Amino acid sequence: MDTSEIRNRFLAHFEAAGHTVVPSASLLVDDPNLLFVNAGMVPFKPFFLGQETPPYDRATSVQKCVRTPDIEDVGKTTRHGTFFEMCGNFSFGDYFKERAIELAWELVTKPVADGGWGFPEDKLYPSVYVDDAEAVALWKKVTGLPDDRIARLGKSENYWSMGVPGPGGPCSEILIDRGPAYGADGDFSAEDRYLEFWNLVFMQDELSAVRSKEDFDVAGSLPKKNIDTGMGLERVAFMTQGVENMYEIDVMYPVIARAEELTGRRYGVSHEDDVRFRVVADHVRSSMMLIGDGVTPGNEGRGYVLRRLLRRAVRSVRLLGYEDPALPELMPISRDKMGETYTDLITDWDRIARVAFAEEDAFRKTLQAGTQIFDLAAREVKSSGATTLGGDQAFALHDTYGFPIDLTLEMAAEQGLSVDEQGFRGLMAEQRERAKADARAKKGQHADTGVYRGILDEHGPTDWQAYDTLETESRVLAVLRGGAPVPVLAPGEVGEIVLDRTPFYAESGGQAADAGVIDWDGGSLEVLDVQRPVRGLVVHQVRVVDGELTAAAARHLLHARVDPEWRTGARQAHSGTHVVHAALREVLGPTALQSGSFNRPGYLRLDFGWTQALTPDQVRDIEQVSQQALRADLPVGWQYMTLEEAKEWGAIALFGETYDNTKVRVVEIGGPWSRELCGGTHVDHSSQIGTIVVTGEASVGSGSRRIEALTGVEGFGYLARERDVVAQLSTMLKAQPDDLVARVQDMAERLKATEKEMERIRLAQLLGAGAALAASATQVGPVKVVAHRADGASGGDARQLAVDVRGRLPQGEAGVVVVIGVADGKVSVVAAVNDEARSRGISANELVRAVGPLVGGKGGGKDDLAQGGGTDAGGVDEALRLVTHEVGKRAVQG
């Protein structure tokens, strides 16, 4: 049974049982605790938390998921993968344990001919939470299984929570016995033997004081009991397809097969190679799905995860023996298999391929640079007589240059060296712990929403009127400071208030929050920020300007007023963002899609997927197309429709945003020229934007660019300042504005020529001292020594002078030259040793290493020429004296 058939049977089974089929959400999620959707229930989280009312009582989905904590284990087991699909059925206060068990057991055991999966009942074992006697009884009732076929497991296996205060509950898993070849009878910890493939969560408890996954308090029962199940599609696929693991199923193995062709290696021959093949299959698919949902490679967050996946895939192919670009050969295979279900992979392939292939090209250059750095480190280890590359050096290669540790180990072995893996692992562990600490700190943000959920439950959603008016008469529902209710806000204090209705736009969709005031008879507040901590509730951060705000104010009307100038500027900037996005796509093509944006009055920035810098002509074209749209006075309108209707209409959805499938707002400018899903405030006609002035275009990470622009009065102000600069330059240079570029270019060329001539004269003077220095060499035993301080000399100057003086020393005599340059607070040490001196055991490398600490630095190189640097000019004279001493000592030994 292929993967698509398993997926279709799952959805059909639950749709027939009255469930609404919900399409998979994006992998990107607006949640402070998550980088990616990591479970099928995540899109339904607001329903389980009581933040929103679900539009259905029961639902089913096949959700795209990515889990990243175990990236290093991918391929080593049959269980670890980064991207996977989670099949789930959900009940929101509707059916509970018994019906959930019935539905799952029916699908799993129903014959294939009848639409089920046909798993043999004698191979199936339900598991329950050890204290859930009700579940044991229900499993017996529904399945007829004896008591000894039901496994009792502890909290770590069979109790579910989100790790923070909120809903939780016991769960039951369905396990399949794969036979004694995979482990001992009855050993349910042997996950390869008794493989769990479906988890049924009975969400019934309200948890408090959550200290860890297994340490928490149960505050009581939830007012509504819910069902959340998760079934691993890939696990069912490999069990029904008769293969050993998830990497060999129909949607993944073709990538391995192509990798076999490219590398000449064979899957199934050695465990080491098998792991690499599996990494390739998993990471190619995972990377493609992430790029498809709008992630671009970067150095932090989601972008760093994607970069790591892509680079591990490329590195694994390289370790299998294929050194040419691999992703253009492998990713289309995965596209063709996954594109059967996720058609966006086909329609958006040009963008996906451009991002992925550019990252591989960049990594290949990184490998080249890292190899050079590794070679230098290996030479240093060997020259010191050691045989182990330090853990800190391996970590620097990995962390700073993106050089994989496996590659470091491989290359070290080729040179007869080992690597301090323990030291490397220790530094990696420290880095991971810092990351976990940061994640734990962020996790606490989720608990902070409790007070807002309470306000929402008590008073209902805010009557939000930002689209319709700039002023409302409102009442105070809550006064808070530091996330907790307070009786009063005194003059000068900053706190938060919740109103029953508000005209203020809450920051969202890239648009900054409105500014304005809230006043009443006896006081006023300055609005500093407006946010939605939970959906449906608008919260205003305010500073008390006059009077004091007390709970008694809730009995009186307040006047909430948005600053009209602020709102006008915000509308111009947000509509300007849509215009620039449409212009960008017109100039560069439809694959130049927005990946993020921010706008405030008079300013906008727009991030988009693109792998190379825009040319000045392209930037000018984007600006010109934008200005033409303003001059055309295009109508701006919006309407509400379902998400599917919006997609059919050609509306663009921003990657990573979450949209309500029952109703979305589509903003259009000039009809089909610009149609985007957007909840922001906009002008009525494009001419009201005033102007759009592009002020910058730059990279914000591999495969991602950023355009910045000014709109409205701010745009005109920018142009006026540029006009003033041109006028001042015209006056200073006595030239017409049209002649300024040529005049400045001529001045720059003359200045460059002058500086080049001055440099030639300076260098000639520096080298002119070479003969005198050689003639004044000090005789130290059989060696002529020149130890010279060169003030104003850079590292390059000192190197040239040292080599020049060495060449002027008498032929056939041992000679040593050490020049220490001092310039701009930096010290440069260069040692040059001729063949005769080296034959007496004198090494330039050893001399630089000896004197380096005296000038606060270090260095090294070859025996005939070495260089170092430092920061302590006060030690130069002592360092020069040490040169003579070291030469004398080595000459005697030689």
Binding residues for Zn(2+): 574, 578, 678, 682
Residue carrying the six token digits 């056939």: 812
Encode 471-496: b = buried (16+ Cβ within 10 Å), e = exposed. Answer: ebebebbbbbeeeeebeebeeeeebb
Parallel/antiparallel/unpaired status of strands 471-474 and 558-562: antiparallel
Detail the residues annotated as belonging to a binding site.
574, 578, 678, 682
**Residue 119 CB contacts under 8 Å (≥ 6 apart), including other chains:** 108, 109, 176, 239
What is the rounded CA–CA span in Å between residue 708 and residue 722?
17
Contact (CB, 8 A) for 506 and 571: no
**Residue 712 CB contacts under 8 Å (≥ 6 apart), including other chains:** 568, 569, 572, 573, 601, 602, 689, 690, 691
Parallel/antiparallel/unpaired status of strands 814-823 and 783-791: parallel
What is the rounded CA–CA span in Å between residue 675 and residue 534?
28
H or E segment and range at residue 139: helix 133-143
134 CB neighbour count, 10 Å cutoff: 16
Upper half-sphere CA count for residue 790 (Cβ side, 13 Å): 31
Bridge partners for 832 per DSSP: 817, 865
Residue carrying the six token digits 């701009």: 824
What is the rounded CA–CA span in Å between residue 197 and residue 174?
6
Sign of the CA dihedral 832, 835, 840, 846?
positive
What is the rounded CA–CA span in Å between residue 261 and residue 36?
33
What is the rounded CA–CA span in Å between residue 666 and residue 638?
5
Question: In this structure, which amino acid lies at residue 77?
Answer: T
Bridge partners for 347 per DSSP: none
Contact (CB, 8 A) for 395 and 403: no
**Residue 326 CB contacts under 8 Å (≥ 6 apart), including other chains:** 259, 262, 280, 313, 314, 317, 318, 360
